[in-house]
Chains A and B, each alone.
Chain A
């Protein structure tokens, strides 16, 4: 066991880890942040997507002890009761069906819109290609992303 410092959603955590824990395991099992989901566990589905350094990263294939930069999870987007524009847009546009893919979708969308708040449909589809929705809710997800981008650009 060794001490590992991990900063998640601007809060620093000192954890005793064996070293073989994935970031996903640490978030869910050690830090009780279950917003990031477990599904395929082999980098295919995107439900485990978080942000590190503003980039969408798959936490199921990231070793927690190997992370040196701040991690942002779905729990870290809202400011108190005020939802992030992407979260708000997903609600307003009915983009959530079963909801399982949504945290990952939102994280990938936030990473995209922070870099480019005015993406084209093609750019959205390209960037979200690592997030699978089994409910096939893509049209409303893309609409929400476009709308959220407009709000983020205004702000």
Chain B
């Protein structure tokens, strides 16, 4: 056997899942399984014990799907990456079609068929892509407690708390802003392993070339996803121009990009940020 003995729990409703999430000791949540099962196998080969209880969300239909109510995009936790990629709802909603680009660049096709948006957000690996994206898009994350009560918090706050939650993550909501534009860049760690070395997402509104309400979501692979306040402050006073990308590099919160990292990665951050800003300037 490649996995240690475990008990698989198969709730059928989100409330049942939320109760088990609270009650089960020594447990892990199974969404798509692309992170969890690999890590459990690896830990077993090292002789390390793994969770005795696995809470599968595969049968909770309430946690599946993408919807749009005219104002807000809702992505349920168990939506597969390829389902989001294929969703026609992303097409013409201003900046929301950046999610199409994000999904396209995640891992390989079979992984995209299995991996979920919820798993990518809550797995507590610092390098996963969706954190930076949801921060840039100012997404709200929704959690369900065993008492049936819902908590909502901005994605930014969730990641400031190291992606911890005592309640079950159910869905994310993002307001559509037709005036907003976004850009996304992702750099792979190596050609062999599709773990991102870095991911960045910029979202802004541009009126007459002036940037407004800019949000910059950064995933540096070392810390949980975060914003870059220095870069946001600079861009919000800026006007689109061919030089803006180059100028922006003088206004970074350098600790995000330069601490505990290689020269190559520092360089790639700057290349990626400049490229993303230049892309937005052309929109």
Contacts and interface: CB of A to CB of B under 8 A. Distances in A.
A58 B110 contact: yes
A127 B56 CA distance: 27
A36 B30 CA distance: 24
Interface stretch (B6-14, B166-174, B207-215): B6-14
Interface residues of B, number: 30
Given A19-B7, A61-B34, A65-B8, A56 B1 contact: no
Interface string A34-68: 00000001111010010000011110111101101
A91 B8 CA distance: 41
Q: Chain A's interface: helix, strand, loop or mixed, by majority? A: mixed
Contacts, number: 81
B17 to A, nearest CB: 14
* Residue of B7, B8, B107, B193 contacting most chain A CB atoms (<10 Å): B8
Contacts of A43: 34, 38, 110-111
A126 B6 CA distance: 35
Please name the 7 residue pairs, one residue from A and one from B, whose CB atoms are nearest each other, closest first. Answer: A130-B108, A20-B3, A61-B37, A130-B110, A55-B113, A56-B110, A19-B8
23 contacts: A18-B1, A19-B5, A21-B3, A22-B3, A22-B37, A25-B1, A25-B2, A41-B2, A41-B41, A44-B192, A44-B193, A46-B110, A49-B110, A56-B110, A57-B110, A58-B34, A63-B8, A108-B109, A126-B109, A128-B109, A129-B108, A130-B109, A130-B111
Given A19-B5, A63-B56, 15 more contacts: A20-B1, A25-B1, A43-B34, A44-B193, A56-B109, A57-B110, A58-B110, A58-B114, A60-B2, A61-B38, A61-B114, A68-B58, A126-B109, A129-B109, A130-B110
